[in-house]
Amino acid sequence: MKSTKHQNSKGLGDTIEKVTVAIGIKPVVKRIFGKDCGCEERKEKLNKLIPYKN
């Protein structure tokens, strides 16, 4: 998993990923659902739906 801590968020998906990592939800979900939990796909969809202006 690449670090998103110091990267600028492109959209809502990036922000949600940062929050879930910070509070410990993402690692738990990955343990339960395995390597491909669908997180990346959801993140990219949310980034496209709600992008941030840079």
How do residues 1-10 score in pLDDT, each as one tens digit?
A: 455 455 789 9
Cα 24 to its chain centre, rounded Å, is 12
- Does a structural domain hold residue 6? no
Per-residue confidence (pLDDT) for residue 17, from 0 to 100? 92
Residue 41 lies in a domain: yes
Residue 4 lies in a domain: no
Does the residue 5 lie in any domain? no
Q: Is pLDDT of 11 > 90?
A: yes
The reply to whether 45 falls in a domain is yes
The count of structural domains within the chain is 1
Structural domain includes residue 36: yes
Where is 28: in which H helix or E strand?
helix 25-33
DSSP-assigned letter for residue 7:
S
Domain hosting residue 40, numbered range: 12-49
